[in-house]
Amino acid sequence: MKKLKTYGFIWLAPAFLLGMSLSVNAQKLPNVQPSTGLRAPANLKIDGKATEWDNQFQAYNDATNIYYTISNDSNDLYLTLQANDVRIIEKILAGGVTFTIQPATKKSEELPVAVTFPRMRISDRRSIVINIRNHDTNIDSVLAGINKQLTDVSKLIQVNGIDGLTTDSLISIYNEQDIKAMGLLDAKKAYTLALSIPLKYLKRDIDNSATFRYNVKLNGAFNGLKPPKGSVPITPGSIRMVRVELSASQAADAQNLNNPTDFSGKYTLADIR
């Protein structure tokens, strides 16, 4: 009997320790990344992975439930973030993440530089979320397929405040402005989003101390990509109203999915060589 109990403990321990390690790691990290600049690794790629950081992040933000790191090199500013909760992943896919840069001290009447990614429609994300939520899915066997779906429908970046582009411009991920973004799932169903903005676009927002304010916002489903022009409009007569009773936790999840959550901080550029 003792031997059976010992085996049972050994079998359960890895899953238990994994959950504990994620929780402890989040507790150890600050809520907002320290403002001191962080030099980006020389091999940093915008590929939807955090391997260059050894999957370690500078902060875990409680308001948005994401891990994140901001860094820079001589040419670009980088944001790398990760979500482990499927509800937060769905929220990111629903409305995208907006990374906004503003001056640290001076007020500006100009539109701040803001980059939003991904931008996809409800029909694009639905099957992806279903696959992520499916506990019976063998993620090793279907991960490539899910990430191909993500890549196929995550072709647009929304940009504000960049000279030469109109307000709320939707540009291709293969753009002339050299703004890059990518988001993918890993084998543990964690979603990593990485993006970069050339520093040349941020000159008016960064003061002499090389410091600026930033905001990271998970926009929520109410701020999702609008249907394309020419699509069939939704009219009152085309909607069937169904009354659904939600538990308190389900109502809270729905509210979180629909409404924006965000946080702000300051960042000073690492030494630009």
- Mean pLDDT for each consecutive 10-residue tract of the chain (273 residues)? 45 43 72 96 95 96 97 96 96 96 81 94 86 75 88 95 91 96 93 97 82 96 70 49 58 77 96 71
Q: Among residues 215, 242, 252, which one has the least CA distance to residue 68? A: 215
pLDDT at 256: 77
Identify the pLDDT of residue 228: 55
What is the pTM (predicted TM-score) of this model? Answer: 0.83
Give the pLDDT score at 126: 86
Would you state the pLDDT for residue 22? 57
pLDDT value of residue 19: 47
d(CA 52, CA 109): 37
Written as six digits, the tokens of 9 are 């403990």
Q: Is 79 exposed, middle or buried (0-12, 13-18, 19+ CB in 10 A)?
A: buried
* Structure tokens given for 152: 């196929």
Amino acid at residue number 25: N
Q: In this predicted structure, what is the pLDDT of residue 238?
A: 47
Q: Is the dihedral of CA 135, 60, 186, 260 positive or negative?
A: positive
**Nearest-5° angle of CA 251, CA 256, CA 262?**
160
The CATH number of the structural domain formed by 24-227+240-268 is 2.60.40
Domain assignments of the chain as residue spans, ordered by start: 24-227+240-268
pLDDT at position 227 is 60
